[in-house]
């Protein structure tokens, strides 16, 4: 006799205890309980994580307060810590990454969704998705020995000669720096933009395209003026997701960013990102305040990622409601 | 009018060529990565790499045998901790979930997924390394295990939901209790997809370096048991890549090839299996 | 309905294979058979002495196959931190622990942490100037100016003055420093603080400082790597890193006015004075040491060992190792360009070892 599967959440009220124990005999309640325990474990682990982050950054939060977010110094000797250079580095490298990855990724997605025949589209999409599986440290390994020398010897001098009037491209030329980190980030996030945007575009109802074509639009016009705007929210969502990934990238960035907590106007200059400084200095922070400051940085990063991920999901959800996104 | 059409047609051609170029560029990057690693890593791989321990600083030779085994141990531990939790959590969400608690669990799973890997390392450090007073394989494995949970949950839930309602109802109609129906009919039907998702998850976590930096730490020797620091492929690649020794660079390429080879092989196999499975499930 | 598909079967075989390899593999075929879990000691810290430490622990393992001492070079700051946190059995640092850190440790554990000098080494200014592999002479003012960011070009008069006849280009100097908490840094900035008032007030000394300019490399290895790959760069590394990587390094003017290159003689000369007046806790700075032949940026490097070790087996291993290190181990130092400890220091240390209970 299958019993009901409604479980009273929380402690069973007195008097019902007996009934509960009886129901426990049946496998359903046990199964429900077991899976509930594991699900709660997930919930508890996350709560614990946030709590630990909060608790272990107490010293820094008390000492610096909100000023932590806008202080430029990072001085372990005089124990003055500020997050601004790292937020700057994280934001700038992610911005450069997006600037390169978005046109590239959306372009590729459009081609794969609209232009390429289905088999080729699937095959190429498969290959591009493999890019997402390449570990960060391998990107870093490659970047050190290919990208950095290339930047130092060819690309950066070229940029300096042609666009050197912009403060962005001035200053000494190290090879490592914000630009190198931005480019490697771009390569790392492109597969996400391509794969999600492609799915979103492919899910646009075929009637939309046919309507546009029936009205005399060229393929491109139908794509650009009808399909893409329809899928706009989903594409934007993919960009936010890519941004969230870029923010948290540690290894590839720390191998090419130059590790200097400064705020400069030049992309050629070395910088520092939140994830990179934690990776470099965590095991060596010699005072409690120093460690707490690093953990507070981790907290800041975490919150930034949460906000972006949340926005991304909302956008992708919005596209779903409109009936365009992949279920 | 004619000029306008010509203009529109050329824009059409140009834009599609441009987007095709974007695609080509992106795909080329993959081949470049593979090619470069195969070229440099292939030359560096020798039998020593798989069987010897690292040599003292500055001396050439040696290998990464301990790192390979270390990575395997870490991944084994990650699977043992992360997969059951994720799987059961997914089952809960798909089959049993109440309304508010499900929402909470989903929300926190998403949150957990968004945790940057370095922050996960901090968490494992404060929760495992400090109390144990040891860097350990255990800490590293747990950090990786927790990272596996969100995707395991999502995979399980998604694939369980794809099982047709007719299958469930058939089982129930034949007199199975709910849990029996789930365990003997629904889960096996979704099994392939779930397994694929988990294998992909494992491949992703195999390449993670940041959480290991201050949990499993590193070790120049074999690491017996689970409570000692251990070398791992990603950490060795990082350490050797940023150093000045040519011989270390050579070994970093070899390690990179091995790691990437395993990760890509797993990915390709899993995706091919998934594609076949999806096409065979006719609904 | 359930077909026996190949995939799960293959997967199970792979996992089983992995498990077998993990459990039995190392003991059957690879490398030396691992020791019965008798003694596993973990240490971490300075990258400055990493080459000699890794050699020592390797040799010691060959002499005592059942003892494994795993040392990770994460920087002196890391060594200090991890030893205070208790996650390693011993630490290593070239920047001695401050009084505050010692108090911290004592307050936490109730016993002291002891410093044991192991070898003498030197920080050298290594550079990568395309087309020039000679030896540059650096005055203290030049070094301070470069690292303060005030001297920005290689052809600056402050550098040229000490190097007549050498024509360097007007390229920008790329400064490379440590991104992690480092004793090598400590030695370098300790020296700069002594010779430059501006450095002392503006930046100060510590295992991690707020660098006015430059790229950050992780560990001595990272700095050497960056300098090697970046033209027109200059960084500071422990002597052996420059030698092992074939990188040119410069001479520095010492307090007596002579330009000295770092080598066994000049480093030993730097320690001569301190050897006679070594404090009981062995914490001493020998930068800018007096003496005509003394190299000005030299330093002892220390192992940080708790004065009370509960685990009897571990205590024995560590004290035995210290004995070995002070006698046979010292013979391995010179081939790696580290200077041996002065006799007086060795004698004092042998006595101090008995203080480990």
Can you tell me the ipTM of this complex? 0.86
Task: Please check whether residue B96 touches A, CB under 8 A.
Answer: yes
Q: Encoding tokens for residue B49?
A: 């790499």
Task: Give the tokens for residue C223.
Answer: 């700095």
The first and second tokens of residue B172, run together, are: 């129930």
Q: Do C88 and B135 touch (CB under 8 A)?
A: yes
Beta partners for C215? C176
Q: Which of A76, A78, A283 sits opposite C78 (nearest CB)?
A: A283
Q: Do C22 and B129 touch (CB under 8 A)?
A: no
Q: What pLDDT does B222 receive?
A: 86
A85 and C CB contact within 8 Å:
no
User: Across chain A, which distance is largest between two alpha carbons, in Å?
Assistant: 84
Closest-CA residue of C relative to B52 is C31
Q: Kindly determine whether residue B208 and residue A135, on different chains, have CB atoms separated by under 8 Å.
A: yes
**CA–CA separation, A237 vs A240, rounded Å?**
5
pLDDT of residue A25: 62
B191 touches chain C (CB under 8 A): yes
- Candidate from A73, A176, A286 with C-beta closest to C181: A286
Strands C233-238 and C174-178 come out as: parallel
C39: closest CA among C72, C11, C63, C16? Answer: C63
Chain C interface includes B222 (CB < 8 A) = yes
pLDDT at res. A327: 43
Residue A15's pLDDT is: 66
Mutate to test the interface with A, among C48, C76, C80, C81 (most CBs of A within 10 A): C81
- Chain B positions in Cβ-Cβ contact with residue A224 (cut-off 8 Å): 15
Chain length of chain C: 357
Q: Which two tokens stand for residue B97?
A: 């979930």
Interchain contact A264–C (C-beta under 8 A) = no
Per-residue pLDDT at A103: 93
pLDDT attached to residue B1: 63
Q: Using a CB–CB cutoff of 8 Å, tell me whether A175 touches chain C.
A: yes
Nearest-neighbour CA in chain A from B225: distance (Å): 23
B199 phi-psi bin (left φ>0, alpha ψ -120 to 50, beta other): alpha
* Å between B115 CA and nearest CA of chain C: 24
Q: C237 in helix, strand or coil? A: strand
- What pLDDT sits at residue A226? 87
Gap from A138 CA to chain B (nearest CA, Å):
6
Quote the tokens at residue A6: 């409604």
- Chain A positions touching B89 (Cβ under 8 A) are 35, 38-39, 41-42
Mutate: best of B10, B12, B13, B22, partner A, most A CBs <10 A: B22
Q: Chain A, 152-211: which have a CB under 8 Å from a chain B CB?
A: 187, 190-191, 194
Strand spans (E) along C150-250? 174-178, 215-217, 233-238
Q: Which pLDDT value is given to residue C20?
A: 62
CB B243 to CB C44 under 8 A? no
* pLDDT given for residue C3 in this prediction: 47
CA dihedral A231, A236, A237, A238 (to 10 degrees): 90
Residues of chain C with pLDDT under 70: 1-12, 14-38
Instruction: For residue C80, give the nearest of A75, A148, A286 by CB distance.
Output: A286
pLDDT in the model for residue A8: 56
Cβ-Cβ contacts under 8 Å for B109 (sequence gap 6 or more): A42, A46, B89, B149, B150, B153, B154
Candidates B84, B105, B252; nearest CB to A141: B252
Kindly tell me the number of DSSP H helices and DSSP E strands found in chain A.
16, 2
CB C256 within 8 Å of CB C263: no
Tell me, what's the pLDDT at B280?
Answer: 63
- DSSP code for A168: G
Residue A325 is predicted with a pLDDT of 42
The alpha-carbon gap from B2 to the nearest alpha carbon of chain A, in Å, equals 14
Return the SS3 of B176: coil
Mutation target vs A (from B122, B127, B207; most A CBs, 10 A cutoff):
B122
As a whole number of angstroms, the distance between CA C324 and CA C215 comes to 39
| Ranges under pLDDT 70 in chain A | 1-15, 20-26, 319-327
Q: Does A42 contact B89 at a Cβ distance shorter than 8 Å? A: yes
Q: Does B264 touch chain A (CB under 8 A)?
A: yes
Closest Cβ–Cβ partner in C2, C31, C247 for B188: C2
Which own/partner pairs from A201-209 qualify as long-range (CB within 8 Å, at least 24 positions apart)?
A201/A109, A201/A110, A201/A113, A201/A114, A201/A227, A201/A228, A201/A231, A201/A235, A202/A113, A202/A326, A203/A231, A203/A234, A203/A324, A203/A325, A203/A326, A204/A230, A204/A231, A204/A324, A205/A323, A205/A324
Residue C4: its pLDDT value, please?
47
Please answer whether residues A262 and A271 qualify as being in contact, where contact means their C-beta atoms are separated by less than 8 angstroms.
Answer: yes
pLDDT tens digits in sequence order for chain B, 283 residues long: 688 889 988 998 999 899 999 999 999 988 999 899 899 888 888 888 888 888 888 788 888 889 999 999 999 999 999 999 999 999 999 888 778 888 889 888 988 988 899 999 999 998 998 888 888 999 999 999 999 999 999 889 988 888 888 988 888 888 888 888 888 888 888 888 888 888 888 988 999 999 999 898 888 888 888 888 899 999 999 989 888 888 889 999 999 999 999 999 988 888 888 777 666 654 4
A49:B112 CB<8 A: yes
């Amino acid at each position: 006799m299958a019993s009901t599967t409604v479980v009273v959440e929380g402690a069973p009220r007195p008097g019902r205890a007996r009934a509960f124990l009886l129901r426990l005999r049946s496998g359903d309640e046990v199964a429900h309980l077991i899976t509930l325990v594991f699900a709660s474990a997930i919930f508890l682990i996350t709560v614990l994580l946030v709590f630990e982050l909060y608790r272990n950054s107490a010293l820094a939060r008390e000492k610096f307060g909100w000023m932590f977010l806008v202080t430029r110094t990072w001085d372990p000797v005089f124990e003055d810590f500020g997050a601004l250079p790292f937020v700057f580095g994280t934001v700038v490298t992610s911005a450069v990454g997006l600037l390169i990855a978005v046109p590239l990724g959306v372009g590729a997605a459009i081609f794969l969704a609209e232009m390429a025949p289905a088999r080729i589209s699937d095959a190429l999409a498969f290959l591009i998705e493999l890019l997402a599986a390449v570990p960060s440290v391998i990107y870093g390994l490659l970047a050190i020995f290919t990208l950095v020398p290339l930047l130092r010897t060819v690309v950066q001098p070229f940029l300096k000669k042609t666009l050197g009037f912009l403060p962005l491209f001035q200053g000494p030329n190290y090879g490592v720096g914000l630009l190198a980190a931005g480019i490697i980030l771009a390569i790392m996030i492109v597969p996400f933009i391509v794969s999600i945007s492609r799915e979103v575009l492919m899910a646009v109802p075929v009637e939309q395209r046919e309507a546009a074509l029936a009205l005399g639009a060229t393929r491109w016009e139908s794509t650009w003026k009808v399909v893409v705007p329809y899928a706009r929210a989903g594409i934007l969502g993919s960009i936010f997701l890519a941004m969230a990934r870029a923010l948290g990238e540690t290894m590839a960035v720390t191998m090419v960013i130059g590790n200097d907590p400064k705020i400069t106007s030049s992309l050629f200059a070395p910088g520092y990102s939140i994830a990179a400084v934690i990776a470099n200095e965590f095991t060596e922070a010699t005072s409690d305040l120093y460690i707490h400051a690093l953990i507070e940085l981790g907290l800041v990063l975490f919150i930034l990622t949460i906000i972006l991920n949340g926005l991304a999901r909302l956008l992708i959800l919005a596209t779903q409601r409109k009936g365009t996104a992949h279920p | 009018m004619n000029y306008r059409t010509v203009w529109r047609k050329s824009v059409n051609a140009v834009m599609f060529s441009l987007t095709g170029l974007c695609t080509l560029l992106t795909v080329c990057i993959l081949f470049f990565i593979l090619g470069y690693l195969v070229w440099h890593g292939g030359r560096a791989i020798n039998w020593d790499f798989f069987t010897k321990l690292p040599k003292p600083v500055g001396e050439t030779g040696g290998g990464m045998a301990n790192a390979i085994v270390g990575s395997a141990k870490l991944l084994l531990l990650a699977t043992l901790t992360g997969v059951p939790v994720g799987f059961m959590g997914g089952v809960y969400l798909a089959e049993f979930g109440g309304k508010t608690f499900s929402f909470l669990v989903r929300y926190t799973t998403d949150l957990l997924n968004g945790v940057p890997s370095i922050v996960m390392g901090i968490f494992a450090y404060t929760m495992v390394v400090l109390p144990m007073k040891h860097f350990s394989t255990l800490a590293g494995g747990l950090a990786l295990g927790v990272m596996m949970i969100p995707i395991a949950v999502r995979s399980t839930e998604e694939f369980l939901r794809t099982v047709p309602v007719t299958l469930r109802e058939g089982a129930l109609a034949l007199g199975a209790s709910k849990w029996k129906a789930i365990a003997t009919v629904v889960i096996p039907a979704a099994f392939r997809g779930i397994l694929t998702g988990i294998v992909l998850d494992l491949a992703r976590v195999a390449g993670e370096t940041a959480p290991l930096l201050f949990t499993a730490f590193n070790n120049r020797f074999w690491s017996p048991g689970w409570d000692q620091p251990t070398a791992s492929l990603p950490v060795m690649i990082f350490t050797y890549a940023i150093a000045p020794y040519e011989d270390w660079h050579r070994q970093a390429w070899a390690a990179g090839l091995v790691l990437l080879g395993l990760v890509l092989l797993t990915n390709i196999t899993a995706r091919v299996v998934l594609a076949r499975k999806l096409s065979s499930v006719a609904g | 309905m359930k077909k026996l598909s190949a995939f799960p079967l293959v997967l199970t075989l792979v996992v089983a294979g992995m498990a077998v390899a993990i459990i039995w593999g190392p003991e059957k075929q690879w490398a030396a058979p691992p020791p019965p879990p008798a003694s596993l000691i973990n240490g971490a810290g300075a990258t400055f002495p990493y080459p000699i430490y890794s050699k020592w622990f390797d040799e010691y393992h060959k002499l005592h196959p059942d003892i494994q001492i795993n040392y990770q070079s994460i920087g002196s700051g890391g060594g200090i931190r991890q030893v205070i946190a208790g996650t390693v059995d011993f630490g290593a640092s070239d920047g001695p622990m401050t009084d505050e850190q010692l108090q911290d440790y004592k307050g936490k554990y109730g016993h002291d942490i002891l410093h044991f000098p192991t070898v003498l080494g030197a920080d050298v200014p290594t550079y990568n100037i395309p087309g020039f592999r000679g030896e540059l002479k650096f005055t203290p003012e030049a070094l301070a100016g470069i690292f303060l960011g005030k001297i920005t070009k290689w052809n600056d008069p402050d550098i040229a003055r000490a190097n007549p006849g050498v024509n360097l280009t007007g390229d920008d100097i790329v400064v490379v420093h440590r991104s992690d908490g480092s004793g090598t840094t400590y030695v370098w900035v300790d020296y700069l603080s002594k010779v430059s008032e501006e450095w002392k007030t503006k930046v100060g000394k510590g295992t991690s400082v707020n660098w006015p300019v430059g790229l950050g490399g992780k560990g001595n290895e990272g700095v050497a790597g960056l300098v090697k790959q970046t033209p027109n760069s200059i960084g500071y590394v422990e002597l052996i890193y420059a030698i092992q990587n074939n990188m040119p390094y410069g001479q520095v003017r010492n307090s007596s006015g002579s330009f000295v290159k770092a080598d066994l003689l000049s480093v030993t000369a730097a320690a001569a004075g301190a050897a006679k007046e070594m404090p009981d806790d062995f914490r001493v700075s020998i930068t800018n040491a007096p003496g005509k032949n003394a190299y000005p940026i030299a330093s002892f490097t220390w192992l940080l060992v708790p004065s009370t070790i509960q685990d009897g087996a571990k205590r024995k291993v560590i004290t035995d190792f210290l004995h070995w290190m002070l006698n046979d181990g010292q013979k391995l130092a010179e081939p790696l360009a580290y200077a041996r400890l002065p006799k007086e220091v060795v004698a004092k240390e042998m006595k101090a070892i008995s203080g480990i209970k």
